[in-house]
Amino acid sequence: MQLSRFPRRRYTDGPTPLEPLPRLSDHLGGPAIWVKRDDLTGLAFGGNKTRKLEFLVADALAQGADTLLTTGAVQSNHCRLTAAAAAKEGLACRLLLEERVPGSYDPDASGNNFLFGLLGVERVEVVPGGTDLNARLAGMAEELAAEGRNAYVVPGGGSNALGSLGYVACARELQQQAFELGVAFDEVVVASGSGGTHSGLLAGLLGLGAGLPVAGVSVRASQAAQEAKILAHARETAALIGAPAAVEPEDVVVFDDYVGEGYSYPTEAMVEATELFARLEGIVLDPVYTGKAAAGLIDLVRKGRYERTADVLFLHTGGAPGLFAALEAFRGRLGSTHYFADTGGR
């Protein structure tokens, strides 16, 4: 696993923190829960896509690209971080947003949509859910080529074998941190969406012989579809790094019980998980990915998946800006907060 042979940009200064969550653990009466703070990676507000972009943008620069093209849902964290990487490298950026929930796009919305403009995105194109995104990205690249420009297409979520190297690197980082802390984790729980984080971490840990299973909480697809996608991604990544261990179907674990009505639709369990992380540990989740993944973790603890003596790691993949575009999901649903204002006649 000689990752140094792959060109890489560095957007994060050092390892992201690995922290215990003692108040959450006590509240649930279950195992010791820890968090890997990949919400604290570099670039604008951080998140897991930063690790993937380190390898993808290096490839774009090696190919002489002057523009990054990518796609994601409305309020996409990946699109935000791609725009941030483009700004840092002096590249233009164009985004293709898929309106997976009809009527959900608002050009004046807060959250990531506001940040697209702040980060200088050159153009945002919005298409209905179910559009052939790869075909449209190819068309956008051809349009730029006709203008004499050189576009690099970053896959949705940064999720191809090259992007997944970011989480192969994270697996190595995690193993070293666990060694230094003297903690033998029993499982890692992570949101599973486009698949690059889940599959890269899985391929990396298997390649290292870490003996640490990874459980993905699907935020969109059914269990069968997501497991098939993760298996294919993980095998491609393992082949790219020349991992000695093969990725087998039994290595891929996905839970699809926490999606709710569909991608980005709020659930009561997500709201509860987001409140618990905030009020017990001061950690902010997002409503689409980490909130639902944390809901899965909490439910698995309550159902007795882990022994009380276990150590379970939650990989926080970021996304907090999305909260500010989803306030209605939380109004009247969080626990009571009392406000008192004394204006003193002012």
pLDDT at 315: 98
Domain boundaries 3-47+160-329, CATH class = alpha beta
Query: Catalytic amino acids?
Result: 76
State the DSSP string of 113-147. Answer: HHHHHHTT-SEEEEEETT--HHHHHHHHHHHHHHT
Fold match flag (3-47+160-329 vs 49-158): yes
**Ramachandran region of residue 319, left (φ > 0), alpha (ψ -120 to 50) or beta?**
left
Cα separation, 66 vs 91, in Å, equals 5
Strand partners, 71: 96
pLDDT for position 299:
98
Q: Is 29 left (phi over 0), alpha (psi -120 to 50) or beta?
A: left
In a 3-state reduction of DSSP, which class is residue 309?
A: coil
The predicted pLDDT at position 244 comes to 85
Q: 49-158 has which fold? A: Rossmann fold (3.40.50)
CA distance 86 to 49: 13
Residue 314, both tokens: 């939650």
In what order do the strands lie in the sheet containing 32-37? 18-20, 32-37, 311-316, 187-192, 214-218, 253-255
The three-state DSSP-derived secondary structure of 246-297 is CCCHHHCEEECCCCCCCCCCCCHHHHHHHHHHHHHHCCCCCCCCHHHHHHHH
The pLDDT score that the predictor gives to residue 111 is 94
C-alpha to C-alpha distance for 271 and 250, rounded to whole angstroms: 31
- Please state, in angstroms and rounded to a whole number, the distance separating the CA atoms of residues 121 and 115: 9
Per-residue pLDDT of the chain in tens (346 residues, 90 and over written 9): 689 999 999 999 999 999 999 999 999 998 999 999 999 999 999 999 999 999 999 999 999 999 999 999 999 999 999 999 999 999 999 999 999 988 899 988 999 999 999 999 999 999 999 999 999 999 999 999 999 999 999 999 999 999 999 999 999 999 999 999 999 999 999 999 999 999 999 999 999 999 999 999 999 999 999 999 999 999 999 999 998 888 999 999 999 999 999 999 999 999 999 999 999 999 999 999 999 999 999 999 999 999 999 999 999 999 999 999 888 888 877 665 655 666 555 4
Return the structure tokens found at 297: 């973790």
Distance CA 218, CA 229 (A): 11
Q: Per-domain residue ranges for the chain?
A: 3-47+160-329, 49-158
| N-terminal to C-terminal alpha carbon distance within the chain | 65
